[in-house]
Amino acid sequence: MDVKRAASKSSNVKQNQFWQHHNKPIELWSAAVIEQKANYIHNNPVEAGFVTEPSYWQYSSAIDYADGKGLIDIEFL
């Protein structure tokens, strides 16, 4: 989506809008659902064609799940 076009449809954004403005909460009711959502998020840079593996995206926690060390400290529960 074009960020200028998205901003033109928003009353509180004047130039460019990067994030979508909607609230669709998803209940994380089991470990399987949490893992599914984390995998989805980790795969977004791959689907966008930025990297070939989720752990290659430096701004993702996927590297921590692949036994590496990302940019922030992750505490696994």
pLDDT at 52: 97
pLDDT at 7: 47
Q: What averages of pLDDT result for each successive group of 10 residues across the chain (77 residues)?
A: 53 59 78 92 95 95 92 85
First to last CA, the chain: 36
Q: How far is CA 63 from the centre of its chain?
A: 14
pLDDT at 17: 56
pLDDT at 4: 56
pLDDT at 77: 74
pLDDT at 63: 94
